[in-house]
Structures are given as C-alpha cells and as structure tokens.
Amino acid sequence: MKTLIISTMLFFAINLYAAPKKDFPIGKITMLRGKVSALQPHTLDAVILKKGDFVYEDSSLLASAKSFAKIKLINDSFITIGPKSKVIVNLVKKKGATVISLLKGVVRATVERKGNKHFFVKTRTAALGVRGTEFMTTYNNDSQKTSLLIYKGSVAIKKIQKKIIINNESTDQQKKEVVYKIQALLKEQPIIAKIGEFTNVGTIKDEAAQVVQINIRQLTKLKLDKTMGVEKLVITKKVLEKEEQLIKQEVAKVLKEQPVVAQKKSKLLKGGFIDLGTGIYIPPKKKGEVVGTISDNGTFVPPTGLKMDAHKGFVALTENNADKAEELNEQLADQVEAIPENPAYRRYFDTED
C-alpha cells in the first residue's frame, strides 16, 4: 500500500513538471460583461469565461456583441477585449516579449514600462511596438484596416508587407523568431503616434497614414470609458471637463518636451472625430467645425441621414442625403479603400454567434 502511494505521488509529480509552460496561466480576468469565450490550447470546445478565470498562452478569445473582458497579464500589463472582437494571446513573458494578435475588433492596452519588456500587437496589416503606454487599436476585417489611438505615451506602427505567422502550433523557437521579425520591422522608419494622435494602416498603401490629432472631447470620453462602449459612461460634466483639461496639458507638454519625429504630419485638419468601426478619421470642414457628433461613450455619430461604411465612407440612408454624403466623402478620398470580397477570409474572422 505504501509503495502504491509513493508511486502515485511520483506519477503526479512527473506529470506536473513535464507539463508544457503554455499550460500555465499568463493572465487573469479582472472584469467581464456579457459573453466572452476562450478556446484554450489543446482543447476542441470553447468555454464561457467569467471574472476570476485564468487565461493561457495561445488561447483564442472571442467577445460577443455588448461584451468585453479585461485581463491582467503576468507582466503587470492589462488588455481589454472589446465587443465583437477576436484575439489570440500568442506569447506573454513576465520578463521578455508579449505578442497579441488582433484578428477582429478592438483591443485596449495599458503596458507597464518596468524592466526589459517588449509588448507587440499584430494584425493582418500592421505591427505595433509598445512600451509604457496606454492605447487602443482596432482591426476591421471588411476593410482590412488597422487603426491606432494613443491615450498615453507613444506607439510605433508599421505596415506588414510580408506575412508574419504565429499561432498555437508555433514552437518557442518559432515565436522568438517572430519577435525578432517584428522588432526588425519596427526599426524600418515606423510611424510614431503620441498622446491624442490617430493613424491607420490598410492593405493598398505602402505605409501607415500620417498621424493626426483628434478631437480632445472624443479622446477624453473614449479614455474614460473602461467598458469599451458596453455600459453607458456616467460621469459629471465637472469630471469630464477636468479630465479633458489634464489631457490638453499633457498633449501640450509632450509637444514641447519631445523632439519632433522625422516624419510628415497629416495634411488633414486636426480636431476631427474618428469612427472606430471603420477606422476612418473625419476631419472638420474647417477649423473648429466638426462633422457629426459623439455619444456619451465617445462613439462617432454621423450626421442625420448618413451612416459609415468601411469601403465607401459616408453612405446616404435616403436619396435626399446623397449630395451631403458625396460632399463629405471628398475629404475622405485618401482613407477609403475598396477591398475585393473574400468569403473564406470573412468566415475565418467572423465573430458572430
């Protein structure tokens, strides 16, 4: 009997230490609303997550409509997966590199600057290099456009010209090689976006669009909304204005203290709104005259009678508004790209239930 117990203990001990590192948690759900599921490594069926659940390396995370999940990673960084979003947590090291693949939707991240850490986000069209930053990035699988908005610090972004493949079949060595490729790519004159700035990368143009400073009120509301639009942002006017003033001061400080990066600024008028769903920046008609409005959460609301389309820009809901759409689209000509329909691609990146 004693021999049997010892043998059993040895069996479990051997299996514990033989378990691959990717089977150990690399993060934990700290906040969740709605329905968020995870396809964990070595499993066939997705599980519905709840607050307090662990997340594992190579997990594929899917947030349904009106849903989000905030995850604290083992390197003290946070990522929040927004509604209708699909993310793969490819690699997370406590002291080393982190790689997150955004397949569709929106991710918000707060990245700690402690130690020798490197945090990368990869989409089909772009690679982002982050350090000591708070930002939001979106990927629209219709237009295949990656968008980036900075809340704090700065982020380097570069278009991916060649495929950089990383998935749950990648070995540790292959993951290291992917990190090296991303690092090398981001050394090739990337676009640098700082606090309050927005840029995007599509499939047709050879590089990211030049950065542009967005409307401070929209930036403030988006920053304050920790639920990614799932819950109504309830704050007083006083709190909103105070936060807006702090952001203005930080923007002015950064512009004054940081050296000018050797890159062209956008020709578009600054102070416009961004439509996160399509990744389009809507410049003011003239200085101070914005187009459309924003919701309590900072979501862009098009002018009455119009809607936004990733391929076409403004689209008239009735014939009476066709001229208005055409006029506004003249300012969006450089941002709207017609991408050929690819049903197989759409099926792979679909996040609907």
| pLDDT class of 11 with cuts at 50, 70, 90 | very low
Q: What is the pLDDT of residue 259?
A: 58
> What integer is the mean pLDDT of 18-28?
68
CA 49 to CA 125: how far, in whole Å?
Answer: 29
Q: Could you tell me whether strands 78-81 and 85-92 are parallel, antiparallel, or unpaired per DSSP bridges?
A: unpaired
User: Tens digits of per-residue pLDDT, 107-158?
Assistant: 999 997 766 678 999 999 999 998 779 999 999 988 889 999 999 999 999 9
Give yes or no for residue 307 having a pLDDT over 50.
Answer: yes
Q: What is the pLDDT of residues 180-223, one digit of tens each?
A: 999 999 999 899 999 999 999 988 777 888 899 999 999 999 99
Q: Are 150 and 194 a contacting pair, CB within 8 Å?
A: yes
**How far does CA 288 lie from the centroid of its chain?**
28
For residue range 242-263, what is the model confidence (pLDDT) as tens digits? 999 999 999 988 877 765 555 6
The pLDDT of residue 167 is 77
- Tell me the helices (H) and strands (E) count for the chain, helix number first: 6, 23
Nearest to 139 by CA among 85, 205, 100, 60: 85
pTM recorded for the entire structure: 0.87
- CA distance linking residue 178 with residue 184, whole number of Å: 10
Burial class (CB in 10 A: 0-12, 13-18, 19+), 233: middle
pLDDT score, position 256: 78
Residues 219, 224, 230, 236, CA torsion sign = negative
* Residue 262: predicted pLDDT: 53
Cα distance between residue 77 and residue 28, in whole Å = 11
Token pair of 251, please?
């923007």
113 vs 12, residue with greater confidence? 113
Closest CA to 196 of 148, 139, 125, 157: 148
Which pair of structure tokens corresponds to residue 147? 């968008």
Residue-wise pLDDT for 30-83, tens only, equals: 999 999 999 988 888 999 999 999 999 999 999 999 999 999 999 999 999 999
Q: Assign 217 to helix, strand or coil.
A: helix
Alpha-carbon distance of 16 to 109, in angstroms, equals 32
Share of the chain above pLDDT 90, in %: 64
Round to the nearest angstrom and report the end-to-end CA distance of the chain: 52
Percent of the chain with pLDDT over 70: 85
Rounded Cα gap, residues 53 and 214, in angstroms: 36
**What are φ and ψ of residue 43, in 5° steps?**
-125, 160
* pLDDT > 90? residue 346: no
pLDDT at 25: 93
pLDDT at 9: 43
Q: Determine whether 321 is exposed, middle or buried from the number of CB atoms within 10 Å of its CB (0-12, 13-18, 19+).
A: middle
What's the token pair of residue 174?
């292959």
Say if strands 25-33 and 273-275 run parallel, antiparallel, or are unpaired: unpaired
Specify which residues 155 forms β-bridges with.
Answer: 130, 193
Give dist(CA 336, CA 143) in Å, integer. Answer: 8
- What pLDDT is stored for residue 348 in this prediction? 45
Contact 22, 56 (CB under 8 A): yes
Would the pLDDT of 176 be above 70?
yes
What does each C-alpha distance from 60 to 27, 106, 141, 143 come to in angstroms?
Answer: 13, 14, 17, 22
pLDDT mean over 296-321: 95
- Domains of the chain and any CATH numbers: 20-213 (2.60.120.1440), 216-329 (no CATH)
